[in-house]
Structure 1
């Protein structure tokens, strides 16, 4: 690692006018100041692009780009990724906040152990409606250090978030698709990238020494749309990784199962929780 490596912070944006300024300012406030902030706007129609150009068109650390047409989550992230040239990457959401020492703190972990691929850290949920915060549930009893069983932490807990992680470019190049893309164009593209890093044998360190940032919870979060995430998980993630998933978990994944689940989701936009959980139970019974 160079003495003061360039860190690329990529921020894909879409209709984030309420929060994006605070997000960018938290990135600019990093104590490690050798950074580039790549902002890729996916044809926002709420004033996001206009605000960004007004505030940051003259800021040398911020590079602004806009798609000519809406690409969707994964391909917008790909567009941002291809423009970044850092030795390390942070993949950040347009509505969240990072602690000013996050990049510097994580770089110190890489300095201590150059064999690491990812340093990730503890964060809090910030509820916009109440302005209250709480520790991300999977981190309440999680201790710092090398992550031993990355598969379990990812599949059973979803323990980590790219927002609050610093990753070597060498790892990202290793897990790129043949096309050169880093992300599947699907709603759970961030989770799918974690899984590919697991398959590549990534060495991950979890830093619990402080709260490294805040994930903002509000009505527009993509994660607040569970039907979409589950549809994405079955249609794209499990379909793409069915062989490794079957080998690791012992479960058999079939296209028929996916089609049945998607039909259910499409026909039940506002189903009750008990109905949903009953269906999930039937899915589990059908694949065991």
Structure 2
């Protein structure tokens, strides 16, 4: 069923689109939103760019498109506060987030919003992502691997028995999801978690939601671009993984979600140990490694001994 025009029965969807210095990519993203088979939507854009190129492009290309609601942030807000401002400006019943270098499939919004007709008490929905190159050409094999890596497989489809698990184990994507606007606005994007603000938001959203649905169909396209907003901090002590580790460790969870926390820490802890070793923080790195031996298969992993060697070299370097 297609809903190419708004009706009193179709909820309004606010597509929130943060952008920063990517005028060469954002037009394709906006166009993918405008060609949706679902009609009752708005595209709310927050521009953190340092120059006026994006503003000029949008003025020239979308001046007569009432669904496009553009704002230039002066001064720039930063990643988290930009997204938070979009949520605040959104006037729809549902919110969908898409980043400026990614795309929506033509029926992506319709596929997600239709889940509420089947499950009226639903609060959050997400689905699969295609993987594409900078030009948007889809790699189908890589797409299967991407979703499998994040536990988005056919056997997992449906209402999730433990909604919070989706966020903790990173099954929930960082964009291309849809959720009730009131819940999204209540959770908000926090600006005190640095580059892992998207992981924190996804986890808190899923923990707060009573019903979360995973749809095993493609609704968005993840474009592998040359630059990443988190690239500049990779390998440093303010890297997204370090912040994510601290967030997961500090979470207060019900007993049934403790296995999910352990899964998250199994992924995060070794990366954090490596970061601390590279930054010559041998004591801290060693403490994390030895208190998370389950992340190294309790010593039956060559990765542990490699990290211990890195830490010992870091300790010698400190002296």
TM-score by length of 1: 0.78
Alpha-carbon distance between aligned partners in 2 of 1:223 and 1:281, rounded to the nearest angstrom: 25
Query: 5 Å matches for 1:175-214?
Result: 175=187, 182-185=188-191, 186-208=194-216, 210-214=217-221
Query: 5 Å matches for 1:2-13?
Result: 3-13=9-19
Would the alpha carbon gap of residues 150 and 25 (structure 1) be closer, same or farther in structure 2, given more than 3 Å must change? same
May I ask how many residue pairs the two structures share in their alignment?
A: 266
Tell me, yes or no, if the aligned pair for 1:15 and 1:46 is still in contact at 8 Å: no
1:206 CA drift (Å): 0.8
1:165 CA drift (Å): 1.4
| 1:107 aligned partner | 113
1:96 CA drift (Å): 0.5
Alpha-carbon distance between aligned partners in 2 of 1:287 and 1:162, rounded to the nearest angstrom: 26
Alpha-carbon distance between aligned partners in 1 of 2:205 and 2:96, rounded to the nearest angstrom: 15
Q: Secondary structure at the match of 2:36?
A: coil
| 1:178 aligned partner | none
1:48 CA drift (Å): 2.1
Q: 1:145 aligns with which of 145, 154, 158?
A: 158
Tell me, yes or no, if the aligned pair for 2:87 and 2:185 is still in contact at 8 Å: no
Would the alpha carbon gap of residues 43 and 265 (structure 1) be closer, same or farther in structure 2, given more than 3 Å must change? farther
Structure 1 runs, 4 residues or longer, greater than 6 Å off: 260-263
Alpha-carbon distance between aligned partners in 1 of 2:23 and 2:237, rounded to the nearest angstrom: 23
1:107 CA drift (Å): 1.5
Q: Relative contact order (alpha carbons < 8 A, sep ≥ 6): 1 or 2 greater?
A: 1
Q: Secondary structure at the match of 1:31?
A: coil
Would the alpha carbon gap of residues 44 and 140 (structure 1) be closer, same or farther in structure 2, given more than 3 Å must change? farther
1:232 CA drift (Å): 3.7
1:55 CA drift (Å): 1.2
1:95 CA drift (Å): 0.9
| 1:231 aligned partner | 239
| 2:171 aligned partner | 159
Alpha-carbon distance between aligned partners in 2 of 1:281 and 1:141, rounded to the nearest angstrom: 39
Q: Secondary structure at the match of 1:121?
A: strand
1:109 CA drift (Å): 0.9
1:45 CA drift (Å): 3.0
Would the alpha carbon gap of residues 285 and 262 (structure 1) be closer, same or farther in structure 2, given more than 3 Å must change? closer
| 2:227 aligned partner | 220
Would the alpha carbon gap of residues 146 and 286 (structure 1) be closer, same or farther in structure 2, given more than 3 Å must change? same
Would the alpha carbon gap of residues 266 and 61 (structure 1) be closer, same or farther in structure 2, given more than 3 Å must change? farther
Alpha-carbon distance between aligned partners in 1 of 2:136 and 2:184, rounded to the nearest angstrom: 37
1:61 CA drift (Å): 0.4
Tell me, yes or no, if the aligned pair for 2:124 and 2:206 is still in contact at 8 Å: no
The structure with the largest alpha-carbon Rg is 2
Alpha-carbon distance between aligned partners in 1 of 2:129 and 2:100, rounded to the nearest angstrom: 16
